Amino acid sequence: MKIFLDTADISEIRKVAKWGVLDGVTTNPTLFAKTSGSSYEEVLKEICTITSGPVSAEVVAEDVEGMLREGRAFAKLAPNIVVKVPMSEEGLEAIATFADEGIKTNCTLIFTANQGLLAAKAGASLLSPFVGRLDDINQDGMIVIRELVDIVTIHDLETEVLAASIRNPLHMTQAALAGAHVATLPFKVLQQMAHHPLTDSGIKQFRTDWEKARVALDTQKGSDKAKAAAAPTKPGA
C-alpha cells in the first residue's frame, strides 16, 4: 500500500521523505490555510521537488469551467500534479474532460461505493473515500474501502482506491487489510505508527545497559592500568 502524507507543511514532507516511506502528497485548501508566506502554487511546486510521486492539488470552483480552468493551471506546475476534484455531477464532467486531456485526477469526498464507481468510469486516477468522516456519523468507513477495492478488482478498472480521512494508526492497518492501494494520513498519525511504548522503552533500556557496560569496561581498564603501573619492575628489565 502506498503512503501519502496529507499536508501542505513543507517541513513535514521533507522529514517523511528522509524516512524512505513517502509515495506522494495530498493537499487541500484547508491544509494550505495552515501554512503561511507562500502562494498555493508556490507550495505545490516546492512539494513536487521533494517527491516525484503524485501530488494532489484541489480545485475550489463548483462549476465545470471553473474546475477545468483551475485544474489545467495546476497540471502545468509539475508533471506529477494530480488534480483533486470533488464528487458531484459537475465534478464527474470535469474528470471526464481531464481524462481526455491526459490530466490525472483524484476524486475526493467519496462516501459510497456507487460514487466511487461513477468516478472510476469517468476516468479518475484515484478514488478517495473519507473513512473518518463516515465513522463520525456512526458508519463503518472501511466497508466503502473494501467494496470499492472489490469493484476495481472485479472489473479491472484503471484506478486506485485511496483511503482518506485517516484518523489513527488502526485506520491504516484496516485500510491495508481492506486492500486499499493508497492511504493518505496526517504527519501525527504517521509518527504514531512508528512508535510503540514497548519499542520506546526497549530502546531506552538498551541505551542504559550499554552505558553501564561502557562504564564498567572503562573502570576495569583503569584498574588494570593502575595495577600495571604499581607492579614492581623486574631486575634487568
Count the alpha carbons within 13 Å of 53 in the hemisphere toward its beta carbon: 16
- Give me the helix-helix angle, 113-122 and 89-100, nearest 10°: 30
Q: Which three cell numbers stand for residue 38?
A: 507562500
Mean pLDDT, consecutive 10-residue stretches, the chain (237 aa), reads 96 97 94 85 96 97 98 98 98 98 98 98 98 96 98 98 97 98 98 90 82 78 69 60
CA 174, 106, 147 angle in degrees (round to 5)? 40
CB atoms closer than 10 angstroms to residue 83:
26
Q: Of 164, 161, 135, nearest to 150 (Cα)?
A: 161
Is 234 annotated as catalytic?
Answer: no
Q: Give the tens place of pLDDT for each residue, 137-183.
A: 999 999 999 999 999 999 999 999 999 999 999 999 999 999 999 99
d(CA 111, CA 220): 67
Burial class (CB in 10 A: 0-12, 13-18, 19+), 167: middle
pLDDT at 90: 98
Which secondary-structure segment (H or E) carries 111? Answer: none
Which secondary-structure segment (H or E) carries 99? Answer: helix 89-100
Q: Of 89, 78, 92, nearest to 50 (Cα)?
A: 78
Question: In degrees rounded to 5, what are phi and psi of residue 186?
Answer: -70, 160
Q: What is the CATH number of domain 2-194?
A: 3.20.20.70
Distance of CA 117 to the CA centre of its chain: 24
Instruction: Scan for cell 507562500, then name that residue.
Output: 38
Which secondary-structure segment (H or E) carries 3? Answer: strand 2-6
pLDDT at 213: 77
pLDDT at 215: 79
Q: Of 116, 109, 114, 151, nearest to 131 (Cα)?
A: 109
Catalytic residue among 45, 76, 84, 234: 84
pTM, full prediction: 0.85
d(CA 47, CA 80): 10
pLDDT at 231: 67
With the C-alpha atoms ordered 36, 41, 42, 45, is the resulting torsion angle positive or negative? Answer: positive
